[in-house]
Amino acid sequence: EDQVTQSPEALRLQEGESSSLNCSYTVSGLRGLFWYRQDPGKGPEFLFTLYSAGEEKEKERLKATLTKKESFLHITAPKPEDSATYLCAVQARYGGATNKLIFGTGTLLAVQP
Amino acid sequence: KAGVTQTPRYLIKTRGQQVTLSCSPISGHRSVSWYQQTPGQGLQFLFEYFSETQRNKGNFPGRFSGRQFSNSRSEMNVSTLELGDSALYLCASRADNSNQPQHFGDGTRLSIL
């Protein structure tokens, strides 16, 4: 069964304290792995797409990496405005065409000034 | 470019009633997917439409249904509401049948009394 697991469930950092979030997945053929950020009362906001092992994407203080079994979201020198829930999702290769995403339960990140 | 628009933002219903939620995708996007988000289960896939055809359906009872119109706007309907249907219902759109990222609206918060 296709599955996505994120850890930790919650993370509290001091401003400037770098860390990493983990997303491990089991899927029958990966079409893409997606990272989203979700603020309270809002829908998920797209951050990155990774398609193959070894790929890396970077945006401001965030960097996403991908291996055959997991992805990491590295946060360098975070600021309070980086506080949010970070969601990981995978799109699998099914028999027919589909855009179905399988989500992890997210990591709630709190960055304190 | 306008994002995904969902209406209404908030809805309160009682058990046994039915409800219809609406989603207008990003202009030019033909794929629309619906997700249910709850604190315990996270984001769960409901169904996906592409060019007015349902392509995939998640593991939800038949009380949950949807449709897509020729202008790509989509509606989902839930009949005979139960307390457990209280959730944030999210709609996401994508341009085509690919592994490009889905973009989410801010959801409809449905509360069942």
Write the Ramachandran bin of A41: left for phi over 0, alpha for psi from -120 to 50, otherwise beta: left
Question: Digits of tens for pLDDT over chain A (113 positions)?
Answer: 789 999 999 999 999 999 999 999 998 888 899 999 999 999 999 999 999 999 999 999 999 999 999 999 999 999 999 999 999 999 887 655 566 789 999 999 999 99
B chain contacts of residue A40, beta-carbon cutoff 8 Å: none
Distance (Å, whole) CA A82 – CA B16: 41
- Report whether pLDDT(B97) > 70: no
Across the interface, whether the CB atoms of A100 and B45 are under 8 A apart is answered yes
- Report whether pLDDT(B53) > 60: yes
Q: What is the CA radius of gyration of chain B?
A: 13
Q: What percent of chain A has pLDDT over 90?
A: 83
Determine how β-strand B74-78 pairs with β-strand A10-14. Answer: unpaired
> Which of A42, A97, A101 faces B97 most closely, judged by CB atoms?
A97
Q: Give the pLDDT confidence score for residue A30 in this predicted structure.
A: 87
B interface mutation test: which of A33, A38, A99 has the most B CBs within 10 A? A99
